[in-house]
A and B are shown apart, each in its own frame.
Chain A
Amino acid sequence: MYEFVWPLLGTISAVFAVGLLYHSWTKRSRSWSHVLGGWFLAVISLVSWTQTSGIDKGPAKAIVAFILIVLAVLAVLAYRGPVKKRRDIEREATQVKEAGSGFKIWVLRGYNFVLLLLISGLAAMSISTAAFMAGRALSAEHTANLTVSMFLFPISWAIFSVTTGYVRQPLVKSVALCVFAILPAILIPALQ
């Protein structure tokens, strides 16, 4: 009968949480009471949504509701914000010629593509397979061990990809990635 109470409380507290956090953000001096109040209401919202469903679905609903409310606030801010005449930071194109179309740039892009997609992927696969085998050697429970590897594979691949773009020295990143790809693969037979 009172099924609507928890979602309603969750929504209202999320609205006020975002409102308080926004209010503290607009103030020139830091207002801890607003910040803490905002986060406290966010926690209340999370707890309320958790009551509506199971342990996993409730918090997921809370996150969805919170993002939607923030997006609504952002939409209102974007619509109501004053249009200020600003200096046009986009300079006239001084050179219409297609920059970066040189052979060297394309070779570098191709090289980075191979590093990002293949070598980083191989390194991530090698590490996550070795991690699984290490877990098995330590008698870790199979499904937990597999889940860790399933999450580790894409996350480590993404970290390697970001590092590939971050590090400027091609030789350093190539060697580092190859070491990450080969070393765990060498260790796998020892873990069998």
Chain B
Amino acid sequence: MDTQTRKPKTSAKRVAKSLEAHSLIAVIFGALIYILAVTGTLSVFNHDLQRWEQPNAPEMQSISPNAAEKAALAVFGSEANPSTHLYINFPKSDLPRTVITTDTQAFFANTDGSIADKESFPWTEFLLDLHYHLHMPQILGLTVVGALGVMLLGLSMSGLLAHPRIFRDAFTFRRGAGRLTKVDLHNRLSVWTLPFHFSNALTGAILGLASILAFAIAAAGFNNDTDAVFSPVFGGEPAIDEAVAPVAAIAKPLRYMEESFPDLNAAYFILHDPGTAGQHVQVIAEHPDRLIFGDYYNFDVAGNYKGNTGISDGTAGQQITGAVYNVHFGNWGGLPVKLAYLVFGIALCTIIASGLSIYFSKRRSNGRAAPRLEAAWSAVIWGIPAMLVFTFAAALTGQVAGMALIVIFWIGLLLAITLAFLWSKERIAIWGQSSILAGLILALSIYLGRYGYEGLLGAGSPLSALLVFGLIMMTVIISKNSKSRQLATTNS
């Protein structure tokens, strides 16, 4: 037989090499991408989480312009040092609260404009910081997270290249077939949820890498002025004039928005450099029919309308850039879209978890078993949600916040991975699953003890329902795994 006929087919070689690329990226970056997938799935509910963490805050469907102005001026007046920004966050359907924010503090406002409690949602802040920056310094963290988005994009591309039977296998699912079941689960979910995880990885990478790209472009063509790169998209800032001046009109622009744009929802009022001669006003209004996060509506100091920036009706570039944030975070279609993102997010976590399980399984089949690495992967899969649940419970006590939560999370995860050098992957999985269940029960108990049934069923009821659903799911998973173990023991 000649050597020509023994050569593997070109397509088989392509698949093998694509799989190599796929596993190389997954092995190196899998754990960090998994952290982003889990935290990203939870971050979709960040407004509900904020509400759940502080159920006693005053709630309202709307606030009058005069009351908003009164509250904003009261908070601004209480500042020890001049704040460079003054924000009013208006009530939204998933967060029906008014919050006045400065550079250093944030307070809830009552409907009459009086000031209520200080805003405090330590666990949601911890979660968002983990998703945005992996708890690293701002720009560095954003860039690393953006780079991980790129790696997820690379995984999608190499996965597609490694899948020549994409149409023939479109609905194939072999049940109870060991590794083949895992392969089918991984491939079917990856292919059918591709529009979601591709767009999510891409928008996440764009958001994360925007800063360093702006640095590069500014260095190349704008004398290192990064503002000049983005100002044609988001609007520029006027020259700073720090001379003292009366605070700009707040109620008048809000009234103008209500009267002139009744179809839009004012989401934020921003007063830049308040109380200075260079101050200027912007209102970010959401467009309910669009994917964009909103548009900036600009006003002068006296509250006279000066026009919008153009995110909603400007150039194609402005409109596309304006949609990136919402596409990534899934906050463009209310609760139905958020629940869909939850399903897709869980699918993405499953894809990542099953992908590396397949890799380790293949290694075992090829006689290159890596039991310690496999157990470490199991520690990552179950340890990350377990530590998130424990930090959640710790934060709910009201005694643990900020850096303490970060330390608990990373040390706990490190301990779980260390255990992988002593325990089997099965034992790690059992401990991880039991810890998640125990953590959820603990969190719900602490919450119930602190806020009672009123808190559980009141403001935070959507999230309470989700947590109870998580509790039931974990119980089902644990009891199912326990039954399969018992069956395996009996058979053996």
- A interface vs B, CB < 8 Å? 21-22, 25-26, 53-54, 56-57, 60-61, 63-64, 67-68, 70-71, 73-74, 77-78, 81-84, 86, 88-91, 93-101, 109, 112-113, 116-117, 121, 124-125, 128-129, 132-133, 136, 141-147, 149-151, 153-155, 157-159, 161-168, 188, 192
Contacts and interface: CB of A to CB of B under 8 A. Distances in A.
Contact of B173 (A78, A94, A161): A78
B21 A165 contact: yes
A75 to B, nearest CB: 9
Contacts of B176: 83-84, 86
B170 interface: yes
A90 B365 contact: yes
Contact of A165 (B25, B179, B333, B363): B25
B213 A125 contact: yes
Closest 9 CB pairs of A and B: A165-B21, A143-B317, A99-B368, A83-B176, A154-B205, A158-B153, A94-B367, A54-B289, A165-B24
Contacts of B370: 98-101
Contacts of B175: 78, 81-84
Contacts of A162: 18, 21, 25, 154, 157-158, 161
B20 interface: yes
B70 interface: no
Nearest to A132: B217
A8 to B, nearest CB: 14
A154 B361 contact: no
Given A74-B173, A165-B21, A89 B178 contact: yes
A116 B365 CA distance: 28
A53 B290 contact: yes
B457 interface: no
Given A74-B192, A158-B150, A143 B232 contact: yes
B159 to A, nearest CB: 10
B452 interface: no
A89 B202 contact: no
Contacts of B193: 67, 71
Nearest to A56: B291
Contacts of B179: 89-90
Given A136-B221, A161-B151, A56 B323 contact: yes
B229 interface: yes
B425 to A, nearest CB: 13
Given A56-B323, A144-B316, A150 B147 contact: no
Nearest to B21: A165
Given A90-B364, A121-B147, A96 B371 contact: yes
B131 interface: no
B216 interface: yes
Interface stretch (B90-98, B250-258, B339-347, B426-434): B339-347
Nearest to B339: A68
Interface string B298-316: 0000000000000000111
A98 B321 CA distance: 47
6 contacts: A56-B323, A90-B364, A95-B368, A132-B220, A158-B205, A159-B157
Contact of B333 (A57, A68, A71): A57
B171 A57 contact: no
Interface in B131-177: 146-147, 149-151, 153-154, 157-158, 161, 170-171, 173-177
A153 to B, nearest CB: 5
Nearest to A74: B188
Contacts of A97: 369
B123 interface: no
B317 A146 contact: yes
Contacts of A88: 178
Contacts of B220: 129, 132-133, 188, 192
B183 to A, nearest CB: 10
Given A129-B213, A154-B209, A143 B233 contact: yes
Given A64-B333, A98-B369, A168-B20, 10 more contacts: A61-B333, A64-B196, A77-B171, A90-B365, A116-B24, A124-B150, A129-B216, A143-B232, A154-B150, A165-B154
Contacts of A61: 333, 337
A102 to B, nearest CB: 11
B379 to A, nearest CB: 16
A168 B18 CA distance: 11
Q: Counting chain A CB atoms within 10 Å of each CB, which of B24, B27, B180, B361 scores highest?
A: B24
Contacts of A68: 340, 343
A98 B372 contact: yes
Q: Counting chain B CB atoms within 10 Å of each CB, which of A100, A109, A153, A163 scores highest?
A: A153
Given A71-B192, A81-B175, A151 B206 contact: yes
B170 to A, nearest CB: 6
B28 interface: yes
A158 B142 CA distance: 17
Contacts of A159: 154, 157
A143 B158 contact: no
A144 B232 CA distance: 10
B320 interface: yes
B317 A96 contact: no
A100 to B, nearest CB: 7
B177 A73 contact: no
B400 interface: no
Contacts of A167: 17
Nearest to B233: A143
Q: Counting chain B CB atoms within 10 Å of each CB, which of A60, A89, A150, A151 scores highest?
A: A150
Contacts of A142: 232, 317
A177 B192 CA distance: 32
B232 A64 contact: no
A167 to B, nearest CB: 8
